[in-house]
Structure 1
Amino acid sequence: MTRFGQLNTLRNQIFLGFMFVMVIVLATVGFFMYGQVSVLLRNSAEKHIEQTAVQATGKLDVLIRQINTLTAQVATNASIQRLLAQEAEGKPISFAERQTIQQEVRKYEAYATGIRSIELYAGDYQKLLSVDDASLNNRVSDEWISRVDEGKGRLVWFGLDPRNSDIVIAIRNIRLIDHSFTKAGYIMVQIEKSYFQLTDEVDSSQAETRELMRLFDEAGRQISSDFSVNVNANKILDHGGEKVEVGGEDYIVIQKQAKATGWRLVILTPVDYTTEGISVLRTAIIVSGVVGSLLFLIFTFILSTMITRPILNLIKVMRGSRFGTLKPISVTSTTMEINELNNTYNQMVHSLNELIEVVYQKEIVQSRTELKALQAQINPHFLFNTLEAFYWALDEKGEEELAQIVVDMSGLFRYVINRTDDDEWVTIGDELDHAERYLKIMEMRMLDRLSWRIESDEACRSVPLPKLLIQPLVENAILHGVEQRVGPGTVMLIVRPSSRPGYTLVTVTDDGPGMDAAKISSIYHTMEKGSMRSSKGTGIGIANIERRLKLSYVDNTDGLEIRSEEGYGTSISFEIPNEPGEGKNT
């Protein structure tokens, strides 16, 4: 230990800190010159204004790219390309094929926001998504169509619709990829004006500077605005970089033009925002003289707080470790005693985290091994080839119902047997489709004894979860519920948002014989031991599902909840967070 380290104690720090603080106060007053700080304030205001403009323009570019990407996906859709190629070859598109195009377009509309409609037109300008005689040249001017043709597949933005001032129109050519990019039709997308509201991204900065924004198309028509007063558009469009008066207050006009659309974003910044810091500085200098005289009286309290803060941080981290959050604390103090405490604690955290990681990885390996063992029970190539042969044989004999069952069975096994590590996490929508295929197969096997229903909230279908969590619960409901009762039975699978914000609730219900409280308690006890399996010890058991939930979501789930009453069926449910976060194994 050096001599300096021995002298670097808390008592000596308080003594030296007293003199240091007083020197800092005197030096700060000397270097606080009015002119230099005022320049810094002006530069800071100008940078903030420029940042706001860049931020708003960036959001506009993102919104435009989203529409561009969506229309590009529609234009390159395989079904649309094939049918338009057929039309281009002189083979008229049938009504059923038009329905196919409409279904493909509606899929894209369902996942888009701010889009009122997407319209498709053939190369002769006739509309494809309706049975009326609407045509593109009757909908828009020939000048617009010429601009689209000159764009050669690029999305062309025309701004507000002359027929509806609440709609923004953009059009692009559809080029046939397999026919040397020959022009085959047009896509016209109609977008709500509200889609281009730019104030959400910069609310915090606008609250500080009282900035006003307005978006104009190429013709100078207003697309979006947050102006609280009426302002002549020509008044601000012709005064970029100059001052204008709006509502009795002077503003600086800043204009940004979007390259993709040619639209202009106008931002009005109050003039007094760039100078208001100067008056504040003047007041601060006066107040600092008064406050400086009081620093001598209160510096002891502040200094003691600075010295004890590392100790308080260490106590806070140690308290967090009681809840399983073991994180090292940064060693930033120069005090010998504090550093010794921090280093000792960090060594302990490092050792405990290594032990926890070893146990955690063992549990993950065991869970994955069980799933891999299940998937490896069937030879995939042999199974899929056999099922495909069954399908074609049944299809040739006109057994459409049985052929569809074979397709469902192939999809069922393909979903289960997929062995890629990237496929261990899927969406609730994937799990529901898998459960539906299983229920169709069981419905054929059990004939009139089984009826089922799947209800799901559309927003919940995109929530991620570990693979093969839902179908085993459905299988359990059939085996131990429907098959154990006399007469037909029903299985319901319901997915909806939980009453707890940010969570989704999955429930599987049957109307079987149910269970008494003792049986339910026994199941919970068996689940804790991890030995309970589904039917005859061959499936993914309830205990396996419980363990995978705990491993995947840690403390973000309560696991399986079983509700049952003799004679009234059984319900098994679980809640998972919409965003797994750290609970998800990657």
Structure 2
Amino acid sequence: MRQRLQNMNTLRNQILAMFLLVMAIVLCFVGLTTYTRVSALIKNNAERQLKQTANEATGRLETLYRQLDMLSSQVMTTAEVQKLLSQHTFGQRASLQQRQSLMQSVSTFQVYSDGIQAFDLYANNYSSMFPLDDTTLSGRIGAAWIQQVDLARGKLVWIGPDPKDSNYFLAVRQVRLIDHWFASGGYLLIRVNRSYFDLGEQGGRQHNELMMLLDRNLSLITSNYEGNSKAVIQMNGQTIMIRGKEYIQVGQKSELTGWKLVILTPISTVLEGITVLRTAIIVSGCVGFLICLLCSFFLSSMITRPILRLIKTMRGSRLGEMRPSPEVQSTVEINELTKTYNQMVEHMNELIQVIYEKELVRSRSELKALQAQINPHFLYNTLEALFWSLQEKEEEELAELVVAMSELFRYTIGSEGTSEWVTFSAELEHIEHYMQLMQLRMGERLTWEIEVAPGCLTVRIPKLIIQPIVENAILHGIGNKKGPGCVSLTIKADTTTASWLVKVKDDGPGMDEETVLKLMHEHDLGGITNAKGNGMAIANVNKRLQLYYKDQSLHGLSIRSNLGEGTEVSFLIPGDESWHEIQ
């Protein structure tokens, strides 16, 4: 069994299993995500619709409440009511005929609203003005409610169900006497039909919705729920369980009345179409899995067939038979693999020849390097022969210039044991030789001064870092000046930066500020060369300083010049341990 499983561990089976696993995970994830998102979307839409319904129902209830408030306000402000209550308040009792006439007059207001059953008027001492009986207001609603009505000071106060008849609701407001500084004159009791606050029970039942209307004290005003409404009201949460059925609960409170409208909708009604979606997702997942199975089997076979053919060919190469594998039309990767193998077989015999040619090229390169070392020595030998020839002719001055030129070439082309770094001492010696040659050209017009701190002579600096600056001072400073000129080179310690300050100054014609700024900008861009077009440029010196001392906080070349006073170029070289000892 184990051997059988090992034989099945092929590349094709691995690709097939991996594709099927990935597709199964993707289909399950997409199906679950789609089902969850759609369910949540349907619930959210249902909640929004329920809130819209609650807002509309609350607005209708507020309209009915305003109508009730307006009619009762009109009743208590009529002249007859104000006059009769005013007389009664100040000790003049109303006759039976006045009470009957007032009752008929007030009854005419009931035609403006189908929900008002009757208006009852009570005097300030709670006695009944009409109806014509011996009932009192305290016996009708109780002293506690009368106290709340007094505190409301003329506003409508909702009592709730009529204790004598559950088919009616009661509301009371205090009658204020307009002609007597709005003093309390009595009470107006309004009896309202229960159907006045009908919530549309028929429509709610068609959608299996439950509606409950509660007053400020959470007492039930009306409801289409036949069970225990109080138990439902006490349940909290967005979804609640009623008789084993899950409902979505939406509540809306009226700012005008303080009443709360609660609407309950079964979740099963909201999600009644989700079963179709669930079935569609399952069927789509099964069909997709079967399609993926067929495609994975075909793809894995297409990938592994050329590889098996190549393996067979390579087994023959292991036995000493180096032959190329036949090319077949397959994927780009398989074709590239076959092509690479065939190239390897084809180039195996050429490998020795390639190695031989490389060795030959290396030998020739070494020979050229030896020749490059011989050429400078030929130049030095020629100059030395010229020197001895001048010595024999007693041309001492020319002989010294030849020595200076020889040393100049030896320093520039290369000297023993040095490459890119030299000491200050070697660089200054090179500058002396260069000055001697330039004096041969310019004669008495050129003089120079060199002032060097002794402690810097052993400090190593980049080769030819000072000479191009001296060359520019001679060519552009002294060369453009009428009469004799002087170039001074100063190297001293800079205590603020723990560095050596190198300063080259000439007394030539100088430059204005605009030219100096332009010069600084151009050498930052690396675009300046000397006047003759050969040698190193100032920009090259500045770039070398930045490259050699990139880890140091140096600022490159600094140029200062004034018209008629000459030009000064300076830069800093980081100090070594000897610099600290000198300080």
Query: Is the shorter-chain TM-score for this pair beyond 0.5, marking a shared fold?
Result: no
TM range (shorter): 0.3 to 0.5
Larger radius of gyration: 2
TM score, norm. by length of structure 1: 0.40
